Amino acid sequence: MLPETVKVPKIAVVDKVSLPAKQTALVIVDMQNDFAHPDGKLYGPAAREIIPRIASLLERARAKGVRVVYTQDTHYKDDPVEFPIWGQHVVKGTWGWQIVEELKPREGDIVIEKMRYDAFFGTPLDHVLRMYGVRHLVVTGTVANICVLHTVASARLRLYDVVVPIDAIAALNEFDYAAALRQMDFLYKVTLTTTQGVEFS
């Protein structure tokens, strides 16, 4: 029988992280209307709440010349893998598939369309990052224990240095959020901080 309560082990969160701007990319995971807008098909209120913090970090990153990468969850209307689990969502070309207005990509930003949770799986993301000499990733977005975690895990297995501002990722509930942080900290040795703790030099 599963326990009714689970004690979350201590998770290390550092105050400050300084990253070399030219070797760093800010990765914004799946901040799309279907996930982060109240009218979205799989809306999670926590995803809406992190938009201002991601926007603030995005502004500072752009000011320092940090490369900006968006992942855009992408499905077709008859997706046989995820739709049986989640229902239809982020169908390519629809309003729900678009990145939220507050975080719209600009010219020169990189947008990676992905069909599965992991932004590296079946996409050119790793090649693009290495082509630009990126070794450090600051990962934000939604959902913490699904697409964010799988992308972070895949990045670490490829030996990227990964930083996650814990106030710039969102989950569907507190348990999933805590579980994601535990895996990032304990298993993948990600550096956890806050949006204000991220500095670009």
pLDDT (tens digit per residue) in 106-130: 999 999 999 999 999 999 999 999 9
Q: pTM for the full model?
A: 0.96
pLDDT (tens digit per residue) in 138-165: 999 999 999 999 999 999 999 999 999 9
Structural domains in the chain (count): 1
pLDDT of residue 155: 98
Handedness of CA 179, 183, 189, 190 (dihedral sign): negative
Is 7 inside a domain boundary? no
Is 11 inside a domain boundary? no
Domain that holds residue 109: 17-200
Q: Write out the catalytic residue numbers.
A: 30, 114, 147
- Bridge partners (DSSP) of residue 140 are 28
CATH number at residue 58: 3.40.50.850
CA–CA dist 111, 159 (Å, integer): 22
Is 166 inside a domain boundary? yes
Is 4 inside a domain boundary? no
- Bridge partners (DSSP) of residue 200 are 19
